[in-house]
Structure 1
Amino acid sequence: MTDQPRPAAGPAQRVLLGIAFMCLAGLLFPVMSSFAKILGADYSSLQVSWARAFGHILFLLAVFLPRYGLGVLRTRRPGTQVLRSCMLFTSNLCHFFAITFIPIAKAAAISLTAPLIVALLAWPMLGERTTPGRIAALGLGFLGVLIVIRPGTALFHWASLLVVGSATCYAIYQILTRRVAGLDSPETSAIFSSVIGAFGMLLVLPFSWITPQGLFDLALFCGMGVLGAVGHWCVAKALGLAPANIISPFQYFQLLGSVAVGWLVFGDWPDAGIWIGAAVIVSAGLWIGWSQTRKTRAG
C-alpha cells in the first residue's frame, strides 16, 4: 500500500499556525532583552547589538547549511533583504540602548505600537486596504502610548522615544518581511535579517570593543544570538503563513513575558500607567486584527 501525500493545510490552519509561531517569538524576545540589559551595564550598545546579530548569523548557518546547502543564501530580492536587515539592526540598537535606562516591561509596552504601525503602513506598502474604523483604532493605540510614556511629567524618560523609533523600524522590517515572504524562504529571510548588524558593524566595532569579562558574559552574548535567530525565524515563518495585519497583534504575548522577566530578573513591576496604556494599545491592536479576520472570512 503506497503512502498518500498529505493534503495541504487550509487557509484557517495556516493562519493558526502563523499565530503560534508569532506567539513563540513573543516569548523568546523578552529573555533576549534581559540578556541585553544585563550586558548593557558593562558594554556598549553597539557591541551588544553586534553580538546579537553575529550570533544570529552563526547559529542559523550552522543549522541551515547542512540541510539546505548554499542555496539558502540565494535571494530574489537582495535590495529588500538588505533594507530589512538595516531596519532590524536599527530597531535592536535603539531598543538595547533604551533598556539600559528604562524597565524592560515599559519598553515592551511601547514596543506594542509596532503592530499598529504595521497596520498603518500595510495599505501603502502592501496594498492591504484599511477602513475608518481601523484608523480610529490606530489613534486609540497611540493614545495608549502617551499614557505609557507620559510626556511632560516627572515620569517621562527620553529613552522612551528610542523605543518608539525601535518599534517603527521593526514595523517596517515586518512589512518588508511580508514582501519577500512569497519569494524567499523563511530560512533565507532569517539569515539575511542580521547581515548588516553582523558584518556592517565590523567597521566601527573596534572603537567600542570590550573583551567579555568571564564565561557568564560570554554565555549571555552567545545566548542573545541564538534567541534572536530562533525568534526572527518564527516571525518570518509566521508572516509567510498569514497576512501581516492578522499576525502582528499576536506579538502582545511579548508584554507578559517582559513583565515576568523584568520582575524575576530585575525586580521591576509596571505601575498602573503602564498597565493602562498597554491595555489600550493591545485593545486597539486586537480590534484591528479581529476586524481584518472578519473581513477575510466574509470574502
Structure 2
Amino acid sequence: MTQSLPTPLKAAGLMVIAGACFALVNTALQSATMLHGASAPMVTFWQYLIALLFYIPWIWRNWTAVLSTRQMITHVIRVVLAVAGVQLWTLGLAHVPIWQAIALILLSPFFVTIGAGLFLGEDVSLHRWGAVVVGIFGGMVILAPWSDRFQIAALLPVAAAAFWAASSVVTKHLTRRDSTETVTIYLLLLLSPANALLSLGGGFALPEGTIWLVIGAGLLTALAQHSLVRAYTLADAAFLQPFDHLKLVFNVGLGAVVFGFLPDGNMWLGTALIIVASAYLLNREARAKPGSAAQNA
C-alpha cells in the first residue's frame, strides 16, 4: 500500500512545478519574440487561447457561476488590466533578458499594497510602507537607471507588474460579492477576445519555427496556473513563498543556458532587497489575518 505525501509537501511540490512551468513559458515566449521576430500581441493571443481550451471542461462544469454576478463592468475592468499586464510582459521579454524581467516582476506585491491602501481603504501600516520603499529601491538597483546600459524597454516588466497588481486589487474587490469560480471564469472567457482585438492589425499567423513554441507556452501556462491554484488550496502563502521564489532560479538558469544571458551583481542585490521586503510584507499580512485562507490572483 502506497502512503500518500503529506499535504505541505504536496503544496511545495506543486509550487515548484508551477515555477518551473512558468520559466519554460518565459523561455518559449522570449524565443518566439526575440529570436524569431513574432509580435508580442500575436504570441500572447495564441498562448492564452490554448490555455483556455485546457480549462473548457472545468468552465462547463461551473457554468452556472457565470450567471451569478452583478459586477459585470468590474469584471471587464479587471480583464483590461490583466490583458495590459500580459501584453507588456510578453513585449518586455522581446527586449530584455529573462533574469531582469523576472526579477522586476517580483515588484508586483508592492504595487498591490499601494493599490489596496489607496483604493480599497485597507489599513497600511508604517511598517508595510517601509517594506514597499525597500522593495521599490531593490527594483531601482536592478534597473540601474544611472548606468549607460539602462534601456527604456526594461521598464516594460515593471509596468506589467503594476497592471497585474491593479488586476489583483480589483480581484479583491470582486471576491467580496462573487465566488472564486465566477471571478476565474470571467477572466478566462474574456482574456482571449481582448487579446484578439490587440492582434487584429498584425494578423494571427505565427512565423515559421514558433508554432510549437507557442503551443507549448499555452499548455504550460494552463498547467502552471492549475498547479499554482492547487498549491494555494493546500497550504498558506507564508509557507509557499520561499518555494515561489525558486522561479527566479529557474528563469535565470534557462536564460543562461538558452540565450547566454548572465545576470550582473545588481540583479542579486536588488532581488535580495525585494525578496526580504516581500517576505516581511507577507509576514505582516499573516499576523494581521491569522485565520484567513491564502488566495492567489
Q: Which category describes the TM-score, using the shorter chain as reference length?
A: 0.7 to 0.9
| Match of residue 102, structure 1, among 96, 100, 104 | 96
Shift of 1:156: 0.8
CA distance in 2, matches of 1:29, 1:115: 18
1:179-194 matches, within 5 Å, as 179-181=173-175, 183-194=177-188
Gaps of 5+ in 2: 1-6, 293-297
Distance apart, 1:239 and its partner CA: 7.2
- The counterpart of 2:194, out of the listed 197, 200, 214, is 200
**Partner Cα distance (1:32, 1:152) in 2:** 31
Alpha-carbon separation, structure 1, partners of 2:126 and 2:163: 24
Determine if the alignment matches structure 1 residue 229 to structure 2 residue 236.
no
Residue 101 (structure 1) shift: 1.4
Pair 126,20 (structure 1): closer, same or farther in 2 beyond 3 Å: farther
Closer, same or farther in 2 for the Cα pair 1:230/1:123, shift >3 Å? farther
Which digits, 9 at most, give the CA deviation of each residue in 1:216-273, with x for residues without a partner? Answer: 5222222222232343455566778899899888753332221122123222221111
Q: Give 1:131 deviation, angstroms.
A: 1.1
Equivalent of 1:263, from 256, 277, 291? 256
1:292 to 2:285 alignment:
yes
Give the number of aligned pairs: 283
Deviation at 1:292, TM superposition (A): 2.3
TM-score, normalised via structure 2 length: 0.80
Partners in 1 of 2:151 and 2:74 — Cα distance? Answer: 34
Partner of 1:57: 52
Q: Please, which moves more after superposition, 169-178 or 140-149? A: 169-178
Find the counterpart in structure 2 of residue 42 from structure 1: 37
Asked if structure 1 preserves the Cα contact closer than 8 Å seen for 2:83 and 2:194, the reply is: no
- Residue 270 of structure 1 aligns to a residue whose secondary structure is coil
Higher mean displacement: 241-250 or 279-288: 241-250
Alpha-carbon distance between aligned partners in 2 of 1:291 and 1:131, rounded to the nearest angstrom: 9
Local SS of the residue matching 1:193: helix
Counterpart amino acid of 1:281? I
Relative to structure 1, the CA distance from residue 236 to residue 175 in structure 2 (aligned partners, 3 Å threshold; closer, same or farther) is farther
1:87 aligned partner: 81
CA RMSD of aligned residues (A): 3.3
What 5-or-longer segments of structure 1 have no aligned partner? Answer: 1-12
Give yes or no for contact 1:102–1:160 (8 Å, CA) kept in 2: yes
SS of residue in 1 equivalent to 2:46: helix
Local SS of the residue matching 2:210:
helix
With structure 1 as the length reference, what TM-score do the two structures score? 0.80
Distance between the aligned counterparts of 2:119 and 2:194, measured in 1? 26
The reply to whether residue 176 of structure 1 matches residue 149 of structure 2 is: no
Asked if residue 148 in structure 1 is aligned to residue 142 in structure 2, the reply is: yes
Which amino acid is the alignment partner of residue 71 of structure 1? T
**Contact 1:246–1:292 (Cα < 8 Å) also in 2:** no
Q: Is the 8 A contact 1:182 1:240 kept in 2?
A: no
Deviation of the 1:30 alpha carbon: 2.1
